[in-house]
Amino acid sequence: MHYYPPPCLWIVIPCYNEESVLPLTAPLFLSEIESLASSGIISSDSRICLVDDGSTDCTWRIISGLVESSSQFVGVALSRNYGHQNALLCGLMEAKSNCDIAISIDCDGQDDIHAIRKMIALFEEGSEIVYGVRSARTTDTWFKRMSAEMFYRAMNKLGANVIFNHADYRLLSKKALNELSKFDERNLFLRGLIPLIGLPSSTVDYERTERIAGKSHYPLKKMLHLAADGITSLSTKPIHFISIAGILFGCIGILGLIWTFVTFILGNSVTGWTSTLSAIFMLGGLQLLSLGTIGEYVGKLYLESKKRPRYIVKERKGELGNE
Ligand code: UDP
Ligand code: MG
Higher confidence at residue 307 or residue 234? 307
| Residues 124 and 103 both lie in one domain | yes
Residue 82 has pLDDT above 70, yes or no: yes
Assess contact for 310 and 186: CB atoms under 8 A. Answer: yes
| Alpha-helix runs per DSSP H in the chain | 22-38, 59-69, 84-96, 115-124, 142-157, 174-180, 190-197, 220-234, 237-266, 273-306
pLDDT for 86 beyond 60: yes
178 and 104 housed in the same domain: yes
Residues with CB under 5 A from ligand 2 (ion): 106, 108, 110
Does the Cβ of 108 fall within 6 Å of ligand 1? yes
Note the pLDDT tens digit of each residue in 12-50. Answer: 999 999 999 999 999 999 999 999 999 999 999 999 999
Q: Looking at the CA of 168, name the nearest ligand.
A: 1
The helix (run of H) or strand (run of E) holding residue 168 is strand 166-173
Determine, yes or no, domain membership for 247. yes
pLDDT band at 321 (very low <50, low <70, confident <90, very high): low
**Nearest C-alpha to atom 24 of ligand 1 is from which residue?**
216
Domain limits for position 264: 237-306
What pTM does this model have? 0.86
Residues 18 and 158 in one domain: yes
CB 298: neighbour CB atoms within 10 A? Answer: 10
Angle at 200 between CA 197 and CA 203, to 5 degrees: 100
Q: What would the pLDDT profile of 94-129 be if each residue is shown by its tens digit?
A: 999 999 999 999 999 889 999 999 999 999 999 999
* Structural domain count of the chain: 2
What residues are paired with 202 via a beta bridge? 130
| Domain assignment present for 137 | yes
As a whole number, mean pLDDT of residues 203-211 equals: 87
Give yes or no for residue 100 CB within 6 A of ligand 1.
Answer: no
Please tell me the distance between residue 279's alpha carbon and the centre of ligand 2 in angstroms. Answer: 45
Are residues 24 and 159 part of one domain? yes
- pLDDT exceeds 80 at position 253: yes
- The ligand that comes nearest to the alpha carbon of residue 19 is 1
As a whole number, the mean pLDDT across the chain is: 89
Q: Residues of the chain with pLDDT > 90: what percent?
A: 52
